[in-house]
Amino acid sequence: MDRWFSEWEAEPIRRGRAANLLTDLINERKEDAWERILALIDHARTDDSLLLVGAGPLEDLLTLYAADFIERVEAKAASDSRFRISLSNVWGFSVIEPSLYSRIQGAAQQK
């Protein structure tokens, strides 16, 4: 966890081994990637770190598999404010199917 954050929180961002391993996990074992992303959210120390998770691996996962994860995303967002912060930084409006993207945005805006 710490290695991923040290890569992504660097100026400029350094895509190193931890980031590459997570990208591979997203592409090859999406369920394991989901669990790793949730762990990153749990370990994030600041809101800025949560936003990085949203802009990075969470966005990558959802651009590929939004349909597979939308119900879990909505459920997690309903109960976890830290997850909502990460989710608020998922873009992908040009890649994710519009009705799914709308649901992602709605989940991120829950209170």
**pLDDT tens digit sequence for 11-41:** 776 778 888 999 999 999 999 999 999 999 9
pTM of the shown model: 0.93
The predicted-structure confidence for 47-62, as pLDDT tens digits, reads as follows: 999 999 999 999 999 9
Mean of per-residue pLDDT scores for the chain: 93
Q: How far apart are CA 88 and CA 15, in angstroms?
A: 22
Write the DSSP assignment of 4-67 as a string of letters: HHHHHSSSS----HHHHHHHHHHHH-HHHHHHHHHHHHHH--SHHHHHHHIIIIIHHHHHHHHH
30 touches 61 (CB < 8 A) = yes
